[in-house]
Structure 1
């Protein structure tokens, strides 16, 4: 079942490429409001706060209430759950970062020179104000660049994040869509038991990490707790001020659906070091 992660520059035609690919392959396109709604429900905040944090324009209260790391955990969970369903095109939201390392996921970036993007934005808004179009594009670029860096610590311009980079100045929408479809249907990106297992482990890690984060926040006596998955087995690391907390972490991870076993390597450390 195909899974495509796509990021696009405003005015590059990425939206049209995504729709053309989805039509050809019978994929569901994940639009921003679908992710924002679910994230807001899980984070127990206003949907507009999530939108502003992801798109730029978040208030200080929004940033303090949600936090980039907390947002990263919940966004990853949403993206991985969507990818696990298959037959999906996930546009934006750091999907190219979250899904890297999953062999059957095709990661695509659609871009174009500024002049092309300005014309597209001007046409969309029915204006001839090129300066206003450039300001809107630059604001959008900056918001996405900052969000991706603060949430995942990556540069969205890094070509290593993508399997295919398309320049719509040089190639038509139809040609771009064909290139994406050809890549999806190539043997290198075929889904296998191994690639499915990798995706399942990533999803399992995301679920466990959220449970641990929500249980062991600041002042709970647990620090640096982390979870990795391997074939359904969860390995825990971190520090705690008491063995009871270590056992609690094991029970919490073991209760997550899909976890087959828990291997706990957390250490008990007393004193200030345990709270850092």
Structure 2
């Protein structure tokens, strides 16, 4: 069940590569659906999610937005889609969220700035080069800032990717063939171990979402370890009530078979670093 993660720089032709790759291999091409699902979970408009991600949100919108919630809901969508398999995921931090999974190639599609400017001018039907250049640079800056804030990485660092393809020199068709060839290599063969790892990553993210969404556990910050649906919880909580609530919430998450609580609670919640009471 192939899964391919691609970057999404404006005008790089990553969309064209993703669409042809999905068509050739019979895969789902996932990109725009994420915004709608994240917006629904956050009870905001899809346009706000897109403005936040593209750097177009106003100051007040940016201050009011729950960026932590957006990050965790995005991770949930990407990891669940990857765990289902047969998908090309473009953007949404997929190349970093899925980098730890050995069978998933993480690929950067790039193109020189001036070619991207020409592309946008054509799409907009304008001869205003300065406008097009400013728009692409703003988009790049938003992508770089988001990747740094969320993952602590430099978005343009080539070592983050298994393959970097330059559409100035390679056609879309050639890029697709290169990726298809990469999928055939033994390094990217899906194994039971890599499949289990991905499933555990997806389950851990669903657990984080469930804890953050529940009134009794929304402030809980604990570590989870998952092995074939058996979950171990580690960390410190405010008191025994919060400890019991965390276990109860995790037990209710789809895919969880058992919960081993190694949580430790303060004897007096008033002493917890962030007072819950």
Aligned 8 A contact 1:237 1:264 in 2: yes
Q: Give SS of 2:259's match.
A: strand
1:40 positional shift: 1.3
**Unaligned segments of structure 2, at least 5 residues:** none
Aligned 8 A contact 2:211 2:220 in 1: no
CA RMSD for the aligned pairs? 2.1
Q: Give SS of 2:164's match.
A: strand
> What's 1:239 paired with?
236
Aligned 8 A contact 2:212 2:220 in 1: no
> What's 1:108 paired with?
107
Q: Give SS of 1:188's match.
A: helix
1:176 positional shift: 1.1
Alignment CA distance shift 1:221-1:137 (3 Å): closer
Aligned 8 A contact 1:55 1:140 in 2: yes
- Match status 1:28 vs 2:28: yes
Alignment CA distance shift 1:70-1:153 (3 Å): farther
Alignment CA distance shift 1:17-1:5 (3 Å): same
Alignment of structure 1 residues 181-200 onto 2, 5 Å: 181-200=180-199
> What's 2:253 paired with?
256
Q: How many residues align?
A: 273
Write the deviation string for residues 86-114 of structure 1: whole angstroms up to 9, x where unpaired. 11111101111111111111111101111
2: distance between equivalents of 1:59 and 1:228? 39
- Match status 1:230 vs 2:223: no
- Match status 1:267 vs 2:264: yes
Q: Give SS of 1:275's match.
A: coil
Write the deviation string for residues 46-69 of structure 1: whole angstroms up to 9, x where unpaired. 222222222222234444444222
Alignment CA distance shift 1:46-1:59 (3 Å): same
Write the deviation string for residues 99-143 of structure 1: whole angstroms up to 9, x where unpaired. 111111111110111122122222222333222221111011112
Write the deviation string for residues 161-208 of structure 1: whole angstroms up to 9, x where unpaired. 211111112222221111111112222212221111111101100110
Alignment of structure 1 residues 8-23 onto 2, 5 Å: 8-23=8-23
2: distance between equivalents of 1:208 and 1:65? 25
Q: Give SS of 1:105's match.
A: coil
**Unaligned segments of structure 1, at least 5 residues:** none
Runs of 4+ displaced beyond 6 Å: none
> What's 2:128 paired with?
129
Alignment CA distance shift 1:272-1:133 (3 Å): same
1:213 positional shift: 1.5
1: distance between equivalents of 2:218 and 2:238? 5
Aligned 8 A contact 1:96 1:162 in 2: yes
> What's 1:93 paired with?
92
Q: Give SS of 2:221's match.
A: strand
Aligned 8 A contact 1:222 1:238 in 2: no
1:78 positional shift: 0.6
Aligned 8 A contact 2:238 2:272 in 1: no
Q: Give SS of 2:105's match.
A: strand
